């Protein structure tokens, strides 16, 4: 997969996700990255290997993306937010030392 570059003040490049992904799942992954971006969170390493999919219980036959590996992620210092990452199913941290829970941006 390709690393999606991200600099605050610019739109994220969500078009760099693996082209082998089914279109509906690809669109869902792009929207997940957009939601994270709008909350002031930069993933830092968005690529196919860091996007997992599970069956969506709210939409039979659809896939729900799960963004993983925010080790290179950053919070926008200009955004005042509290993000409940646990409810999103997001795991932060280094391999073997994950952090799950809340993140606070100043």
In total, how many domains does the chain have? 1
Q: How far is the C-alpha of 73 from the C-alpha of 11, rounded, in Å?
A: 15
Q: Is the pLDDT of residue 102 over 50?
A: no
Q: Which two tokens stand for residue 31?
A: 């929207």
Q: How far is the C-alpha of 8 from the C-alpha of 78, rounded, in Å?
A: 10
| 8: in domain | no
pLDDT at position 4: 39
pLDDT in tens, 41-100: 888 888 888 888 888 888 887 778 888 888 888 877 776 655 555 555 544 444 554 444
pLDDT at position 24: 78
Q: Which two tokens stand for residue 101?
A: 């829970």
Q: Which two tokens stand for residue 71?
A: 């080790």
- The whole domain housing 30 covers 14-105
Of 53, 61, 58, 48, residue with least CA distance to 89:
53
pLDDT in tens, 1-52: 333 344 444 444 444 444 556 777 788 888 888 988 888 888 888 888 888 8
Q: How far is the C-alpha of 3 from the C-alpha of 70, rounded, in Å?
A: 13
pLDDT at position 39: 81
Asked if residues 93 and 73 have their Cβ atoms less than 8 Å apart, the reply is no
| 6: in domain | no
Burial class (CB in 10 A: 0-12, 13-18, 19+), 23: exposed
pLDDT at position 20: 52
pTM value > 0.95 = no
């Amino acid at each position: 997969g390709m690393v999606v570059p991200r600099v605050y003040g610019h739109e994220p490049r969500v078009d760099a996700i693996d082209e082998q992904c089914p279109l509906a799942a690809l669109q869902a992954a792009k929207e997940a990255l957009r939601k994270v971006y709008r909350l002031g969170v930069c993933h830092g390493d968005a690529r196919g290997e860091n996007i997992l999919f599970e069956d969506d219980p709210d939409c039979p036959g659809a896939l729900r993306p799960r963004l993983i590996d925010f080790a290179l992620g950053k919070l926008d210092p200009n955004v005042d937010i509290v993000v409940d990452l646990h409810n999103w199913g997001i795991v932060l941290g280094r391999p073997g030392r994950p952090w799950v829970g809340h993140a606070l941006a100043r």
